[in-house]
Amino acid sequence: MSAVRWKVPERIGRLDELANNLWWSWHPRGRQVFRALDYVLWRVGGHNPVRQLREISPERLQRVAVNAEFLELYDSVMAEFDADMKTEDTWFRANYPGLLDGPVAYFSMEFAIHNSLPIYAGGLGVLAGDTCKEASDLGVPFVGVGFMYPQGYFHQRISSAGAQEEIYKQLDFDEAPVSPVLDADGRRLVVRVGLQEGFISVAVWQVRVGRVNVYLLDTNVEDNAPEHRWLSSRLYVADQEVRLQQEIVLGMGGVRVLRAMGINPAIWHINEGHTAFLVLERIREAAQRGITFADAARSVGPSTVFTTHTPVAAGHDVFHVDLMRKYFDPYCRSLGIDHKDCLSLGQQFGPGDQGFNMAALALKTSDYRYGVSRLHGSVARRMWGALWPGAQENEVPIRQITNGVHVPTWIAPEMHAVFRKYIADDWLERQDEGGIWARVYDIPDGELWRARRLLRHKLMGAILEAAQRSWAKGEVESRHLVAIGALLHPDLLTVGFVKRFAEYKRPTLIFQDIERLKRLVNDPLRPVQIVFAGKSHPADLASKYLVQRVFNLAADREFRGRIAFVEDYDMHLAHFLVQGVDVWLNNPRRLLEACGTSGMKASINGALHLSVRDGWWDEGYNGANGWAIGPTVKPQAWEEEDRLDADAIYTILERDIVPLFYTRDEKGVPVRWMGMVKEAIRSVMPGFCAKRMIREYCETVLGPAARQPRR
């Protein structure tokens, strides 16, 4: 909110506007403005310009407003910002002129755009945030629709016994990059959404993400009953009924909110089943214009896109039909239809099915259906085949668009500088051109190694700083301090296992043979250290046990402090980790990781991927850009899979990774290692960037580009 306490001098009067558009977060010079403004506030305030502008002293503002160097930076950044906001010369316009009479409306339960807006839990949110940023960069008409969670997802702290503690912090809206959406009379826009027999009121916040707006729904509105006011307070509540209410508000309410703002999307995107109720609201709109419910249900298909991210049946939201009837009987009555007609849209297994499956609803009502990697596409076709009786597996109408990562968000500044020098000055604009990346082999090994080394040092600096803070607060004893990484060394080969802690990701797989691992870690000349980070879902006790197990092993003296569990994994920490480790370890059970994107972030920064051939790695691995763990085909039994994969991890570490990393030339550079780093960058960047993903999306949903892309 633009509640700047001190009046910003007129000469730099647009700082507030810049702070309130997260455009700055993926433009290095945009970030530079706020660093230069007051570096201490920038660092201690968590890189949050909105907060920084509230806290900065008027004297400091006066001073920078007459500082020639600052003004030059400010003026050039504002000019760049304006050019980006207003340009008509976008990729989308060049390729799809005149197409789309409204935006793509992208509905998602979570958006990870920046840490100052903690409304995400993991990969799904990061994908949504990266998609918004890339849509802005490419000029795709696009709006996001999500939830404003004032308590967001939890912050993680580990007790000295290794137990995960969840801390919820109330978001201060004055310190977040959000502004309230107002109606024509300048009052808070409030939209009413039907809930059972009554209504719930929904207010809206706007987040500016470059040219894209994300609208966040908020039920903490005065006219709502207390139990409705806190409905949107937290992400991923376990209670089924609350979850259903949330999804009704987001899906159906989201449509109403867009209409109330005069936004009429051309394409409606359901990002995972949670938001699929948006089709029921649109079917109601169509039916109220006088067509039958069945025709209305068919009518929404051509403008609806669904992406599924979950390859396990149990991972989808399924609501019991009785619960559904409690909420949707009024809907059916108002349309004069039998409840069976409505329920059938979500029943995966026909009329007797007691569950209403949100993914089934989305699959039955959208004409464009996607998995998120090549492998996941085939898994999804197999998994949902029953919805198309008689169809062969390859005829099941689900395709795939492999996810990609927003490169300006995830690339390290040090890598950016190297790429500008050796790939192309405008490499960011051309990131998806396979051809330019052959030039990565022109980068001198020593120069690339210096950047990689610096990034590892920065990661260790961040881990040490956090450990020091905990120590200074008197929160931890020495055992704990070791477990959170106080004894890590900045020059040792560093492996990262960093992801949401869930059983299928097998966070403790590398501990299968403790003695073999100890030999690796404690090698006197060529030691290995391992950094873990990740949160468990608060209700997932099994995965909380895995956090505890890793934490306690990290504290075990026999590992000499070379294993660490870093608390409170979030987007900020993710930057340090994907850029700073040498090896990115990923060992999910086969076919359970739909795509995974963290390994892409690591690879484009030159951290080598050591992964099971699941998700994107099945198509990303080329034999020279990282390593593939274990067999390609899924073993029959889980025990067998664990045993084979753990053995493969140790063998690859012992035989390949450790020798490659520690074999140095006379200048101390691991030349063959750098060869693999280059191959990782060359092969992963063009194919797994969000630019490629959005282009593919436009091509498959809107049709082939009107003219061939430039270059």
Ligand X SMILES: *Cc1c(COP(=O)(O)O)cnc(C)c1O
**Residue 371, interface with ligand X (CB under 6 A)?**
no
Strands 267-271 and 626-629: unpaired
Sign of the alpha-carbon torsion through 232, 238, 242, 247: positive
- Residue 125 or 177: the one with the smaller Cβ distance to ligand X is 125
CB 586 to ligand X: min, Å:
7
- Residue 307 or 597: the one with the smaller Cβ distance to ligand X is 597
CB 593 to ligand X: min, Å:
7
- Residue 376 or 499: the one with the smaller Cβ distance to ligand X is 499
CB 615 to ligand X: min, Å:
8
Of 37, 146, 142, 22, nearest to 91 (Cα)?
Answer: 142
Packing angle, helices 445-472 and 571-580, rounded to 10: 140
Q: Where are the beta strands (DSSP E) in 359-426?
A: 368-371, 399-400
Contact pick of 126, 252, 380, 481 for ligand X (by CB under 6 A): 126
**Residue 499, interface with ligand X (CB under 6 A)?**
yes
The residue with tokens 């169509």 is 286
Query: Mask 627-656, x = binds ligand X (CB under 6 A)?
Result: ------------------------------
As a three-state string, the secondary structure of 283-312 is HHHHHHCCCCHHHHHHHCHHHEEEECCCCC
- Residue 122 or 251: the one with the smaller Cβ distance to ligand X is 122
Half-sphere exposure of 529 (CA within 13 A, CB side): 25
CB 229 to ligand X: min, Å:
29
Of 697, 701, 130, nearest to 366 (Cα)?
Answer: 701
Q: CA–CA separation, 471 vs 238, rounded Å?
A: 34
Span interacting with ligand X, options 596-604, 619-627, 633-641, 663-671, rule CB under 6 A: 596-604
Q: CA–CA separation, 453 vs 608, rounded Å?
A: 14
Query: Mask 142-181, x = binds ligand X (CB under 6 A)?
Result: ----------------------------------------
Distances (CA, A) of 329 to 58, 228, 354, 362: 58, 20, 16, 20
Structure tokens at 371: 């998995």
As a three-state string, the secondary structure of 163-221 is CEEEECCCCCHHHCCCEECECCCCCECEEEEEECCEEEEEEEEEEEECCEEEEEEECCC
- Residue 189 or 574: the one with the smaller Cβ distance to ligand X is 574
- Residue 409 or 683: the one with the smaller Cβ distance to ligand X is 409
Span interacting with ligand X, options 44-52, 93-101, 131-139, 593-601, rule CB under 6 A: 593-601
Q: CA–CA separation, 146 vs 151, rounded Å?
A: 15
**Residue 123, interface with ligand X (CB under 6 A)?**
yes
Span interacting with ligand X, options 118-126, 448-456, 536-544, 550-558, rule CB under 6 A: 118-126
Which phi and psi (to 5°) does residue 694 adopt?
-70, -35
Distances (CA, A) of 327 to 17, 256, 324, 333, 352: 42, 17, 5, 11, 19
DSSP 539: T
Strands 563-566 and 399-400: unpaired
Contact pick of 596, 620, 630, 670 for ligand X (by CB under 6 A): 596
CB 130 to ligand X: min, Å:
8
CB 154 to ligand X: min, Å:
13
**DSSP letters of 63-128?**
HHTT-HHHHHHHHHHHHHHHHHHH-S--HHHHHSTT--SSPEEEE-S---S-TTS----SHHHHHH
**Residue 597, interface with ligand X (CB under 6 A)?**
yes
- Residue 230 or 236: the one with the smaller Cβ distance to ligand X is 236
> Is the separation of the CB atoms in 293 and 337 below 8 Å?
yes
Number of Cβ within a 10 Å radius of residue 389 = 7
Contact pick of 598, 603, 611, 683 for ligand X (by CB under 6 A): 598
Q: Could you give the angle at the alpha carbon of 568 between the alpha carbons of 563 and 574, nearest 5°? A: 80
- Residue 377 or 596: the one with the smaller Cβ distance to ligand X is 596
**Residue 311, interface with ligand X (CB under 6 A)?**
no
CB 343 to ligand X: min, Å:
33
CB 282 to ligand X: min, Å:
30
- Residue 253 or 507: the one with the smaller Cβ distance to ligand X is 507
CB 614 to ligand X: min, Å:
11
Number of Cβ within a 10 Å radius of residue 85 = 13
- Residue 129 or 273: the one with the smaller Cβ distance to ligand X is 129
Sites for ligand X among residues 275-304 (CB under 6 A): none
Strands 399-400 and 368-371: parallel
Sign of the alpha-carbon torsion through 430, 431, 436, 441: positive
CB 127 to ligand X: min, Å:
8
Residues 174/177/182/188 CA torsion (nearest 10 deg): -40
CB 110 to ligand X: min, Å:
10
- Total residues interacting with ligand X, rule: CB under 6 A: 11
CB 405 to ligand X: min, Å:
7
**Residue 122, interface with ligand X (CB under 6 A)?**
yes
The residue with tokens 């501990």 is 511
Of 216, 189, 215, nearest to 201 (Cα)?
Answer: 189
Q: CA–CA separation, 210 vs 398, rounded Å?
A: 32
**Residue 570, interface with ligand X (CB under 6 A)?**
yes
Q: CB burial class (10 A; 0-12, 13-18, 19+) of residue 440?
A: buried
CB 123 to ligand X: min, Å:
3
**Residue 21, interface with ligand X (CB under 6 A)?**
no
Query: Mask 426-445, x = binds ligand X (CB under 6 A)?
Result: --------------------
Q: CA–CA separation, 378 vs 13, rounded Å?
A: 53
**Residue 48, interface with ligand X (CB under 6 A)?**
no
CB 566 to ligand X: min, Å:
12
CB 122 to ligand X: min, Å:
4
Long-range contact list for 466-474, CB < 8 A, 24+ apart?
Answer: 466/566, 466/567
Span interacting with ligand X, options 122-130, 320-328, 655-663, 680-688, rule CB under 6 A: 122-130
**Residue 574, interface with ligand X (CB under 6 A)?**
yes
Span interacting with ligand X, options 95-103, 155-163, 242-250, 594-602, rule CB under 6 A: 594-602
Which phi and psi (to 5°) does residue 66 adopt?
-120, 10
Terminal CA-to-CA distance of the chain, rounded, Å? Answer: 41
Of all residues in the shown chain, the one whose CB is closest to ligand X is: 123
- Residue 122 or 141: the one with the smaller Cβ distance to ligand X is 122
- Residue 602 or 702: the one with the smaller Cβ distance to ligand X is 602
CB 497 to ligand X: min, Å:
10
> Is the separation of the CB atoms in 599 and 525 below 8 Å?
no
CB 125 to ligand X: min, Å:
8
Sites for ligand X among residues 601-620 (CB under 6 A): 601
**Residue 536, interface with ligand X (CB under 6 A)?**
no
**Residue 587, interface with ligand X (CB under 6 A)?**
no
CB 33 to ligand X: min, Å:
24
Span interacting with ligand X, options 151-159, 421-429, 462-470, 590-598, rule CB under 6 A: 590-598
- Residue 570 or 582: the one with the smaller Cβ distance to ligand X is 570
Which phi and psi (to 5°) does residue 635 adopt?
-65, 160
- Residue 45 or 615: the one with the smaller Cβ distance to ligand X is 615
Contact pick of 171, 517, 571, 653 for ligand X (by CB under 6 A): 571
Write out the residues near ligand X by the rule CB under 6 A. 122-123, 126, 499, 570-571, 574, 596-598, 601
